[in-house]
Amino acid sequence: MQPYAPVPLSKATTLLNHGPVTLVSSAHGGARNVMAASWAMPLDFTPPKVAVVIDSRTLTRKLVEGSGEFVLNIPARGLAEATLAVGSRSGEEGDKFSELGLRTFQGEQVAAPLLEGCVAWLECRVLPEPHNQQRYDLFLAEVIAAWADPRVFANGRWRFEDGALRTMHYVAGGDFFATGESFKVSDAID
Per CB under 8 A, residues contacting a copy of itself are 14, 17-21, 38-44, 49, 51, 53, 80-85, 88-89, 100, 129, 131-132, 136-138, 140, 156-158, 166, 169-172, 174-189
Instruction: Report the residue number, 65 or 137, with the smaller CB distance to a copy of itself.
Output: 137
CA atoms of 52 and 40, how far apart (whole Å)? 4
**In 149-187, which positions are buried (b, 16+ CB within 10 angstroms) versus exposed (e)?**
bebbbeeeebebeeeebbbbebeeeeeeeebeeeeeeee
Quote the least distance from Cβ 111 to a copy of itself, whole Å. 26
Shortest reach from residue 177's CB to a copy of itself, in Å: 5
Closer residue to a copy of itself, CB minimum distance, 89 or 150: 89
Pick the closer one to a copy of itself by CB: 5 or 171.
Answer: 171
Nearer residue to a copy of itself within complex by CB, 111 or 115: 115
Cβ–Cβ < 8 Å for 76, 131: no
Q: How many residues are present in the chain?
A: 190
What is the closest distance, in whole angstroms, from the C-beta atom of residue 142 to a copy of itself in the complex? 11
Residue closer to a copy of itself by CB (options 76, 111) is 76
Least distance between a copy of itself and beta carbon 17 (Å): 5
List, in order, residues 6 or more apart from 41 with CB less than 8 Å away: 16, 19, 50, 51, 52
Closest CB 145 distance from a copy of itself, rounded Å: 20
Query: C-alpha angle 21/54/5, rounded to 5°?
Result: 45
Contact 50, 41 (CB under 8 A): yes
